[in-house]
């Protein structure tokens, strides 16, 4: 591990161990009309922001889910899924990342955790984790769950030009929706909310990405 990598991971771990930006930052990217109060929780899930170096850039994967008619059908999201009975949230994040895109759990160093987020449309309570992989993974995509993968640099995530706003029809109502345009894809909803907190932490750090 070189000095710049060690410095970034140290600063990121320190930032994630401090009081987090939290829901107010997450809700900057919430669709119009989404309430901050928590509704009923039907299930729990975990997702993983897995960072690694790719062509001198810090990078992480997003997945394009299959069109299966479920709540997040066809959306761009972080690797992750439901926490099984008796399973720890971090274990679920690693297992799901392995099942969906082939990231080996033994190669991931968990750096910290972001603010958990309730998703009203599905009733899930999601635990987001940040992990470091010392080299680019050898992708093994599970095409029963996802269509493709997008590799996004932290530079791109932190670029203000990636934040867009449009009026969409959601639930038969016109809503103002904020989203990240990353690798040509519109990343919105819970994934955008989680990434906005991560982005805020990165932008408050003193290291050059």
The predicted model scores a pTM of 0.94
**How large is the average pLDDT for residues 139-154?**
96
What's the CA dihedral at 70, 96, 52, 62 to 10 degrees?
-10
For residue range 39-81, list pLDDT tens digits in order: 567 899 999 999 999 988 999 999 999 987 565 568 999 999 9
Residue 80 near residue 45 (C-beta atoms within 8 A): yes
pLDDT of 37 strictly over 90:
no
Residue 132 near residue 112 (C-beta atoms within 8 A): no
């Amino acid at each position: 591990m070189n000095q710049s990598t060690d410095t970034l991971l140290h600063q990121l771990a320190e930032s994630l161990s401090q009081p987090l930006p939290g829901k107010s930052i997450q809700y900057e990217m919430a669709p119009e009309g989404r309430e901050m109060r928590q509704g009923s929780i039907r299930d729990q899930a975990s997702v993983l922001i897995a960072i690694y170096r790719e062509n001198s850039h810090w990078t992480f994967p997003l997945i394009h889910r299959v069109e299966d008619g479920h709540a997040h059908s066809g959306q761009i999201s972080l690797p992750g899924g439901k926490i099984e009975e008796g399973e720890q949230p971090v274990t679920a994040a690693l297992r799901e990342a392995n099942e969906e895109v082939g990231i080996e759990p033994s190669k991931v160093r968990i750096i910290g955790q972001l603010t958990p987020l309730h998703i009203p449309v599905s009733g899930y309570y999601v635990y987001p984790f940040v992990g470091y992989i010392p080299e680019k993974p050898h992708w093994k995509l599970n095409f029963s769950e996802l269509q493709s993968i997008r590799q996004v640099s932290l530079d791109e995530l932190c670029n203000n030009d990636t934040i867009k706003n449009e009026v969409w029809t959601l639930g038969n109502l016109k809503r103002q929706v904020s989203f990240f345009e990353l690798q040509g894809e519109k990343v919105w909803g819970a994934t955008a909310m989680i990434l906005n907190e991560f982005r805020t932490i990165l932008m408050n750090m003193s290291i050059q990405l």
